[in-house]
Structure formats: C-alpha cells, structure tokens
C-alpha cells in the first residue's frame, strides 16, 4: 500500500518574477513526467495564483501536484509552505497578501509576474511586488500554516542568501518543522559537516527550479498517498514512512 514517489517540492512558475517564461503548467508537467517524478509542488514567491492551473494541467499525467508557496519571512528567510488543497493555499495567500507591503512590482527590475491558465495562456499580470519580505516572523509563518493544515520546510538552508541558517545562524528551538531543504547541487554529508546545528533534522533536496532544466533534484518519499499528512510522517520517519535524497541528480541540461 506504500508508494515510492520521486518528488521535487520546489518549483516556480512564470508568476515568480525571477522565473523563465517557459515555466508554464504544461511544460512543467511534461518535464516532471519525463524525469519520472510522481510528485511536485508549485512554490511561487509569496503567491499561489498559478497553483490551480498547474493542478489542472497535471490531470491524467500521473504527476501529483501539491499547492504551495515560497514565503519570505520578516527575517528574509525563505520557507516552503505546502498544502493539500487549492482552498487552503488561497486562504494562506490572503493572509500573506495582508502582510506584504502594498507596493507595485517593477517588472523591468525584478521581472514580470504572469498568471496563466492550464494551457499556459496569459490571463493577467500580477502587479503586486512579490519579491519582498512579509512582516510575518518565522514562528508566525509556521503557526499560521500549521493552523491551516499545511507543512513548513525552510528552503535552501545552505545557500548564502534568504536562508534560515545563513541569515539566523541556527534553527530556532521549538520551530515545528519536520525537515529542511538543501540546494539542488548540495550533498547531504557536506551540508551536515558545514552546519552541525542541523543535526537531528531530515533533509530534502529540491530543484528551486526557475527554468525547466532545473527541475529534478529529487527526494524519494515512501508514503501511502501524496498528502501533507503523509509527507509529514515520512519526513519524521514515522509509521513506516520515510524519505531519501537521490544519490544522483536527474539530468540538468
Ligand atoms: Zn528561495
Ligand atoms: Zn525558490
């Protein structure tokens, strides 16, 4: 009854100002399927307006899509937030928007933020500045996401910027996180040596994909279903569930 799902839980779409225009729903799904991924998460910066389109594009593909968002906390730390339903992630988005400064995006400087449909057709431009910190603290992010039924995983903790470890130097005690994410080229043993303060935390590795070729830094999840609760159990190594980072990285080209 267990499934072994290769997952990349950190994928940006054209809604993220820094993502390439090729990051549209059908191409993301095709790439995921070609790489043998059974599970992906859509995690745009501080917004989830393309999540439903990617889920629709994935219908019948065999690729499960988790609704998500990469939020930037007050401490300039990036955190993956993952949910089971579009309703949950949109409720989260409403909270996030209420905690973002009300500023307009400078598309020439940061890049444009496109909302698209399941075929990748342009729907509208999100004019709001998304590449900025919310005024929510790390603890507030975790508490609010858990209350909505979601899961929080600090993103790319070994990167030099927007990272929990580099910005803060440590993981705040009592933060309810089951795992941390390491960057797509990082090796678990090296990160553990560099950051002994991560002892005791499970690692996942994701693509943080801003272009199609960056999808595929896989982590294997042994779960009964691709749900937040099952992922949480797998990340904590409970009830027969577990995770394992791929020995090799799916081809980057
Ligand atoms: Zn990030
Ligand atoms: Zn990212």
Q: How far is CA 27 from the centre of its chain?
A: 18
pLDDT tens, residue by residue, 181-229: 999 989 999 999 999 999 999 999 999 999 999 998 889 999 999 999 9
Contacts of 209 (CB under 8 A, 6+ apart): 8, 10, 11, 12, 23, 184, 215, 216
Distance between Cα 134 and ligand 1 center (Å): 14
Is residue 27 classed exposed, middle or buried when 0-12, 13-18 and 19+ CB atoms within 10 A define those classes? middle
Task: Give CA–CA dist 178/191, Å, rounded.
Answer: 17
pLDDT at 91: 98
Q: Where is 96: in which H helix or E strand?
A: helix 86-98
Name the residue among 95, 209, 200, 195 with its Cα closest to residue 142. 95
- Enumerate domains of the chain plus CATH numbers: 3-245 (3.20.20.140)
Q: What six digits make up the tokens of 102?
A: 């009300």
Distance between Cα 217 and ligand 2 center (Å): 13
Residue 4 has a CB neighbour count (10 Å cut-off) of 11
Query: What DSSP state is assigned to residue 250?
Result: P
| Ligand number nearest to the C-alpha of 161 | 1
pLDDT at 173: 86
Distance between Cα 193 and ligand 2 center (Å): 24
Q: What six digits make up the tokens of 63?
A: 């690729």
State mean pLDDT over 97-110.
Answer: 95
Is the pLDDT reported for residue 42 higher than 70?
Answer: yes
pLDDT tens, residue by residue, 46-91: 999 999 999 999 999 999 999 999 999 999 999 999 999 999 999 9
Distance between Cα 162 and ligand 1 center (Å): 6
Q: How many CA atoms lie within 13 A of 48 on its CB side?
A: 30
Is the pLDDT reported for residue 251 higher than 80?
Answer: no
State mean pLDDT over 240-248.
Answer: 90
Return phi, psi of residue 196, to 5°: -60, -20
Name the residue among 197, 127, 131 with its Cα closest to residue 161. 131
CA angle 178, 63, 8 (to 5 degrees): 40
Distance between Cα 15 and ligand 2 center (Å): 12
Contact 218, 8 (CB under 8 A): yes
Is the pLDDT reported for residue 252 higher than 60?
Answer: no
Helix (H, G, I), strand (E, B) or coil at 189: helix
| Ligand number nearest to the C-alpha of 154 | 1
Report the predicted TM-score, pTM, of the whole model to 2 decimal places. Answer: 0.96
Write down the mean pLDDT value for the chain: 95
Distance between Cα 2 and ligand 1 center (Å): 31
pLDDT at 131: 94
Distance between Cα 3 and ligand 2 center (Å): 26
Q: Where are the beta strands (DSSP E) in 13-103?
A: 39-42, 64-72, 78-82
pLDDT at 137: 97
């Amino acid at each position: 009854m267990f499934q072994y799902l290769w997952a990349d839980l950190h994928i940006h779409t054209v809604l993220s100002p820094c993502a390439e225009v090729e990051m549209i729903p059908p191409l993301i799904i095709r790439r995921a399927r070609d790489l043998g991924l059974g599970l992906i998460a859509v995690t745009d910066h501080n917004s989830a307006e393309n999540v439903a389109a990617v889920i629709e594009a994935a219908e019948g593909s065999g690729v499960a899509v988790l609704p998500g968002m990469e939020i930037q906390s007050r401490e300039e730390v990036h955190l993956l937030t993952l949910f089971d339903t579009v309703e949950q992630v949109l409720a989260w988005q409403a909270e996030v928007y209420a905690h973002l400064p009300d500023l307009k995006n400078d598309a020439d400087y940061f890049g444009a933020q496109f909302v698209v449909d399941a075929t990748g057709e342009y729907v509208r431009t999100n004019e709001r500045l998304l590449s900025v910190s919310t005024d929510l603290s790390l603890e507030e992010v975790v508490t609010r996401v858990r209350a909505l039924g979601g899961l929080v995983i600090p993103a790319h903790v070994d990167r030099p910027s927007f990272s929990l470890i580099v910005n803060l130097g440590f993981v705040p005690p009592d933060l309810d996180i089951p795992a941390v994410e390491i960057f797509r080229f990082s090796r678990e043993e090296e990160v553990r040596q560099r950051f002994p303060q991560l002892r005791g935390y499970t690692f996942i590795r994701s693509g943080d994909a801003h272009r199609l070729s960056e999808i595929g830094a896989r982590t294997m999840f042994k779960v009964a279903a691709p749900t937040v609760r099952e992922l949480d159990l797998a990340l904590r190594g409970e009830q027969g569930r577990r995770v394992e980072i791929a020995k090799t990285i799916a081809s980057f080209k």
